[in-house]
């Protein structure tokens, strides 16, 4: 018997089948069409493209496992957070989804802070209003597309649109709801005070569940489309970062995770909600009932390397670029990379921030450019870790996941820059794996998420920081931290010209 995890990512959707011991039986990924970016810092995707990819991925995972839908006992969902999916009275998608990295809504963030008060927003939701979150995107539609806004009868998040297509339910979970700017994170419920304050009809919000709770069953129509069995339980699941944390076993104190995907995330769990008064990190509900987490986000982590390859090094694979970067010394001959290709969240909260190399000279090579990108992303993760630790959250070791985790060089650089032991896990599947584990926890095979993780998560290797390089990066980090404040006004002026 198997449990299925589905992750609706930015670049594609992945389906993963596991057995009761957490072993992977089959997996498949189907790509999404490229995100649509009609203007700088805008980012949209078609929700129906996610559903099409999910169908392909599920059938692929079943085929690889040589399993039938009848052998799947439960399904968990994960996905990119914050995306705005709006449906009309007929449950039809009104417009393309504004996804997590869309930064167009700074005027709406300013309006929220003026109307509600920045401090009160944090008091009500444990987080500041940010362009990346869902509410400002919804208000942008209100302000710029009033005809579309009037049609809205339901708001969903990306993974929850897939749930709707899979099970016909308008539901979400506490971790994903935490990233909407409409959720009372401390009380694990929608904030009626916040929705009333900004004039949003709370009836459009989906039902909210704890992550391992059942939140629907596969419909006959979805069963025909996917090969699953009608009636198969679908648990609430989690936003991609909470699901990835479950997949990495971040369900206890003193261990953090670092996910190097398109974005970069440093994640640590807490026994109570711990909010940063400046809003530099997110405080969300964890996928573990009764637990919370703090999370720092770099918008352009793996995206930085992807952009570099696609634009400036099309003749090289990622592996070739990283191999070249290894020939450049620590510090890349004094070159620094700012990974702000989509603005930045932690710690700057600045949608106008811009990326770039600082310190470039005629002596620098492509090897240096690439190494500076890897180091710059690691510095940005140290920014997140520093804020998390300032909240009295202790971090002794880090578990790495995401595409960047496959690179031994990037793992070592992260250990050197963070000055922490960095561990690699037996299963490197992140969000889809965590979603499957939530389905397993929800099925009653174990007594909860923590017990599942204790039983199946295993570290297979680790790297310790190199003392000499760690010292070099401590000095480099001081320079890195000085760059954004020096350039902030210039970034704002550049953004005003776009």
For the segment 74-119, what is each residue's pLDDT rounded down to a tens digit? 999 999 999 999 999 999 999 999 999 898 999 999 999 999 999 9
Which residues face 76 on adjacent strands? Answer: 5
Q: Give residue-wise pLDDT tens across range 33-57.
A: 988 998 888 999 999 999 999 999 9
Supply the pLDDT for residue 261.
85
The pair of structure tokens assigned to 452 is: 């599942």
* Angstrom distance (rounded) from CA 194 to CA 112: 10
Fold annotation for 2-242: Nucleotidyltransferase; domain 5 (3.30.420)
Catalytic residue ranges? 240
For range 206-212, the mean pLDDT = 98
Question: Is 498 a residue whose pLDDT tops 80?
Answer: no
Phi then psi for residue 187, to 5 deg, are: -100, -5
Beta bridge partners of 17: 4, 26
Model pLDDT for residues 240-269, shown as the tens digit of each residue = 989 999 999 999 889 999 989 888 999 999
Determine the Cα–Cα distance for residues 266 and 250; give it in Å rounded to an integer: 11
- Per residue in 416-456, pLDDT (tens digit) is 999 999 999 998 888 999 999 999 999 988 989 999 999 99
φ/ψ of residue 358, rounded to 5: -120, 135
Rounded to an integer, what is the distance from CA 3 to the centroid of its chain?
22
pLDDT at 40: 82
Q: How confident is the model at residue 171 (pLDDT cuts 50, 70, 90)?
A: very high
Cα–Cα separations (whole angstroms), residue 189 to 100, 182, 285: 22, 9, 10
Residues 7 and 14: beta-carbon distance below 8 Å: yes
Smallest CA-to-CA distance from 183 within 217, 220, 214, 209 is with: 209
What pLDDT shows up at residue 428?
A: 83
Bridge partners of 4, per DSSP, are 17, 75
What's this model's pTM, rounded to 2 decimal places?
Answer: 0.88
């Amino acid at each position: 018997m198997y449990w299925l995890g589905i992750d609706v990512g930015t670049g594609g959707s992945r389906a993963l089948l596991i057995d009761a011991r957490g072993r992977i039986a089959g997996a498949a990924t189907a790509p999404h069409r490229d995100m649509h970016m009609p203007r700088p810092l805008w980012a949209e995707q078609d929700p129906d493209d996610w559903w099409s990819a999910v169908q392909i991925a599920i059938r692929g995972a079943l085929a690889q496992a040589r399993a039938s839908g009848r052998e799947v006992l439960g399904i968990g969902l994960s996905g990119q957070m914050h995306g705005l999916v709006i449906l009309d009275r007929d449950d039809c998608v009104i417009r393309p989804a504004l996804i997590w990295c869309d930064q167009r809504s700074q005027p709406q963030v300013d309006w929220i802070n003026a109307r509600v008060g920045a401090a009160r927003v944090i008091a009500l939701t444990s987080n500041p209003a940010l362009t990346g979150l869902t509410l400002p995107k919804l208000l942008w539609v209100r302000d710029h597309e009033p005809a579309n806004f009037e049609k809205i009868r339901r708001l969903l998040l990306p993974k929850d649109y897939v749930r709707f297509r899979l099970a016909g339910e308008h539901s979400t979970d506490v971790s994903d709801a935490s990233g909407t700017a409409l959720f009372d994170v401390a009380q694990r419920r929608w904030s009626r005070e916040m929705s009333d304050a900004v004039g949003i009809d709370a009836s459009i919000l989906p039902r909210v569940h704890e992550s391992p709770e059942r939140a629907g069953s596969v419909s006959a129509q979805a069963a025909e489309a996917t090969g699953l069995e009608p009636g198969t339980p679908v648990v609430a699941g989690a936003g991609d970062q909470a699901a990835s944390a479950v997949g990495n076993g971040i369900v206890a104190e003193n261990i953090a995770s670092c996910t190097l995907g398109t974005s970069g995330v440093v994640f640590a769990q807490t026994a109570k909600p711990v909010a940063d008064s400046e809003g530099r990190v997110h405080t969300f509900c964890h996928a573990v009932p009764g637990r919370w987490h703090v999370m720092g986000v770099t918008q352009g982590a793996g995206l930085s390397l992807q952009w570099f390859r696609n634009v400036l090094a099309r003749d090289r694979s990622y592996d070739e670029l990283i191999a070249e970067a290894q020939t450049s010394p620590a510090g890349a001959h004094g070159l620094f990379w700012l990974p702000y290709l989509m603005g930045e969240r932690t710690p700057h909260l600045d949608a106008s921030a811009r990326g770039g190399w600082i310190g470039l000279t005629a002596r620098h090579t492509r090897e240096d450019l690439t190494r500076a990108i890897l180091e710059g992303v690691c510095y940005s993760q140290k920014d997140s870790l520093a804020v998390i630790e300032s909240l009295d959250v202790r971090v002794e070791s880090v578990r790495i996941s995401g595409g960047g985790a496959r690179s031994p060089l990037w793992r070592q650089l992260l250990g050197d820059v963070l000055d922490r032991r960095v561990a690699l896990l037996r299963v490197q599947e992140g969000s889809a794996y965590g979603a499957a584990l939530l389905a397993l926890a929800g099925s009653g095979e174990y007594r909860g998420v923590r017990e599942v993780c204790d039983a199946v998560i295993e570290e297979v290797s680790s790297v310790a920081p190199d003392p000499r390089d760690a010292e070099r990066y401590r000095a480099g980090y001081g320079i890195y931290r000085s760059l954004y404040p020096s350039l902030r006004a210039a970034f704002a002026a550049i953004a005003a010209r776009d």
